[in-house]
A = this chain, B = another copy of it.
Amino acid sequence: MNTRFDRLALLETFVRIAERGSLSEAARDLGTSQPSISRQLAALETRLDVVLARRTTHDVTLTPDGLALLEDARRMLGEWEAIEERHSEDDALKGVIRVIAPVALGQSLFVRAASQFMKDHPSVTIDWRLRDDAIRFAEEGCDCWLKIGAVPDDTLVVRELARVERLVVGTPECLAAHATQPLKDLPWLTLGPFEGNRIELSNSGGSAQVFSVTPKMASDNIFAIYEACLEGVGVAILPRWFIADDLVQGILIDAEPDLRAARLPVNLALAPGTKRPARVERFCEAIQVWCRDQLGSSA
């Protein structure tokens, strides 16, 4: 089988097929004909001697082998791109960067960093998806993953961006109303994924106190907790970046200046590999710098 296809082009169409779930749509995307796509997929399968996708008349689903190839194909295409753009004299970044970020950070703080990046690089497009749950990175086709807490995938390269400070806050009224009560009896507003019903605070000396609470309200959404807190319903553990303005304005008060919840690490995860497209590399750098400046090492 002496085929003269460009192997990287085959990978390109394969990735496109995987992303669109259809040969026809891939063909439209790539500005070619559907039979061409069909032939290319067949050629790739012949070449690798493996079935990459199950075709029915109405959809295309990758086989496990196809899924495995998808990851490698994306990486190799990225590497080729890095090679091609290394010597392109216009150093203007371009293309799309796919980012997955946690909901809370992604819709407020981080999106400002991303916006700045887009301003700095007008030809760059960002696909900004907000998700808090663990993702199947390899299948998503995303370039970088911002994650609060540990990254549950040890095949990825992880860079720590910051460790965010979290403090106990409440409205002045709320705090005054419960001033005489011990900590554990406050009306706690707890954020599901982090606290559950167990609160752990420690002072700068490192000595910790741990106690269980029956939350006034529990939620998996930080904005809900925040709003309830503003309403004076109770006290909550919130990251400093989230309530910095309110602290300045006195709307919320640091209830226990000596006590802090454990810092939450914010990580940046990338697919492993030696070379990445410049736009991805630069975006990651920008995010890192931005975190250092905005969140600080003590943010």
Contact = CB atoms under 8 A, between A and B. Distances in A.
Interface of A: 4-9, 47-50, 65, 68-69, 72, 75-76, 79-80, 82-84, 86-89, 272-275
Contacts of A9: 7
A274 B75 contact: yes
A49 B87 CA distance: 7
A275 B9 CA distance: 20
Contacts of A47: 84
Counted per complex, copies of this chain come to 2
Given A50-B87, A274-B272, A72 B76 contact: no
Contacts of A7: 6-9, 80
A123 B50 CA distance: 23
Contacts of A88: 49
Contacts of A82: 72
Given A76-B76, A273-B274, 12 more contacts: A4-B4, A7-B9, A48-B83, A48-B87, A49-B87, A68-B86, A69-B83, A72-B79, A72-B82, A72-B275, A273-B273, A274-B274
Contacts of A86: 48, 68
A68 B7 CA distance: 22
Determine which residue in A4, A65, A72 has the highest number of CB atoms from chain B within 10 A of its CB, and name it: A72
Nearest to A50: B87
A193 to B, nearest CB: 31
A61 B84 CA distance: 21
Nearest to A155: B274
B68 A72 contact: no
Given A7-B6, A7-B8, A48 B272 contact: no
